[in-house]
Structure 1
């Protein structure tokens, strides 16, 4: 898995995908978008991967779109612009819908599309010094393709503010608003990410996939008979599965389940 703009490492069922354009603060262009989409699709299909860490080299996590790429897009036709924007949307969707849980290791600032990468991840661990900004409006643009993920993460009220003001906000604010799950010192960033990744790998792989899918499917749905039936059917199916039976048997027999061996 050789990529020009990414570094990929697999260790003990944890895949680490590292954005590797530190000279431009890991801003993405069409090539990085294509590579990121491809690697997440490949990792999603691998049984030996149980969790994915999205990291970055250099002082910034991701500055959003590369300015040279944006300059080229300004001369595109409407159809070409739509096609290009669709590729970015597909990258974010691929991360968000990955059956493997994605941990964002935010080691520095995240701006614009970088906030989209953070919001599309399942768990976010950020250094306390990280700053966040939905800066599109400053450039006369809108945060369109990242909005489905950012609004879900920040909520409507905070999104109204930060989409329109393009204010920078610190990690403590990101933590309070729910964009970030853990705010840690730089010295403890890797240990915290590893602890969460190890916790994910200790759980049943199918249960983790089904749990992520459950949240995506249940969020926002009305609490009606259809939802009650759906959730009952899901637990019945999982309970009767080989993994469910093994997990219950291991608990009763006071031993480790097969997926930890």
Structure 2
């Protein structure tokens, strides 16, 4: 198994899927993206797994995409860029479609792609001190492949408030926006997550899976056309001058020209 994630399953069938790059604030690189895709498929197939809890190790839930990985895409050829963007989109889709309840345990800050991970959870509980933001525009990028899931979770009106401003907001506002179901103290986080997990252990697993699929079928689906649109949007930004300036400024430890 990849060292970028951990999967633990208890005797009740509750799987904890942990992002395990704490030194990088659990930023997603190619290895983690692949590992999450594989874990979603494996947990979804496992009849012993009743519920999956998604969380992070350390003080951050997920800082989004690893900037080194993004820099590599900007320097790659077109086919590689498209393939890597699709791998990110397919990972989110695999988690979103997993036929098991997915509970987000947001124990710390979450930016960019981390907000996408929150959005594919069936319910997410976060610590009240968490800082959250769709910060891609600060780097000359946009929340592209996560966009279909973020907008589906927030609704368009709420997305307009935070999707393209790069503004950092707190857990209370995340509840208002629909990203988090509840914001609790760090001491109460595990109890709050357990309160979401416990009802599923008394429910018929097949009925739970069918109910989750029905909800997805009753709303506008994240279909291939939307996924392709989001991939093209991300690749276009990777190829643009603003992303080169924004990511270059990050590595140079300076402000990008638009923030000077």
Give the TM bin, normalised by the shorter chain: 0.7 to 0.9
1:241 maps to none
- Contact 2:44 2:98 (C-alpha < 8 Å) held by counterparts: yes
Query: Helix, strand or coil for the counterpart of 1:190?
Result: helix
* Offset of residue 27 of structure 1: 0.1
Q: Aligned-pair distance for 1:220?
A: 4.4
Distance 1:57 1:155, change over 3 A: same
Deviation of 1:154 after TM superposition, in Å, equals 1.1
Task: State whether structure 2 residue 17 is matched by structure 1 residue 4.
Answer: no
Q: Any idea what SS the aligned residue of 1:7 has?
A: strand
Q: Any unmatched runs of 5+ in structure 2?
A: 222-260
> Using the alignment, how far apart are the partners of 2:45 and 2:114 within structure 1?
25
Matching residue of 2:39: 39
Q: Report the 3-state secondary structure (helix = DSSP H, G, I; strand = E; otherwise coil) of the residue aligned with 1:74.
A: helix
- Residue of structure 2 equivalent to 1:148: 148
Map Cα deviations across residues 166-210 of structure 1 (whole Å, 9 max, x no partner).
111111011011110111110011111112111111111111111
Q: Where does 1:1-261 land on structure 2 (aligned, <5 Å)? A: 2-11=1-10, 12-220=12-220
Structure 2 distance, partners of 1:136, 1:65, is 9
> Separation in 2 of the partners of 1:66 and 1:220?
30
Q: Which runs of 5+ in 1 are unaligned?
A: 222-261
* Cα distance in structure 2, aligned partners of 1:61 and 1:89: 19
1:72 is displaced (CA, Å) by 1.0
Helix, strand or coil: the match of 1:125? Answer: strand
Give CA deviations for 1:129-163 in whole Å, capped at 9, x if unaligned: 11110011111111110001000111101212312
Per-residue deviation at 1:79? 1.7
Give the Å deviation of 1:3. 2.6
Aligned to 1:240: none
Deviations, residues 107-128 of structure 1 (Å, cap 9, x unaligned) = 0011000000000111101000
The 1-side partners of 2:40 and 2:3 are apart by 15
2: CA distance, partners of 1:91 / 1:182 = 25
Instruction: Give the aligned length.
Output: 220
Q: Which moved more, 1:152-161 or 1:208-217?
A: 152-161
Displacement after TM superposition at 1:46 (Å): 0.5
TM-score, normalised to structure 1, is 0.82
TM-score (norm 2): 0.83
Q: Tell me by how many angstroms 1:77 deviates.
A: 1.5
Which aligned runs of 4 or more in structure 1 are off by greater than 4 angstroms?
none
Deviation at 1:44, TM superposition (A): 0.4
**3-state SS of paired residue (1:196):** helix
In the alignment, is the contact (CA less than 8 A) between 2:2 and 2:31 conserved in 1?
no
> Whole-Å Cα distance in 2 between the matches of residues 80 and 121 of structure 1?
28
C-alpha distance in 1, partners of 2:220/2:30? 33
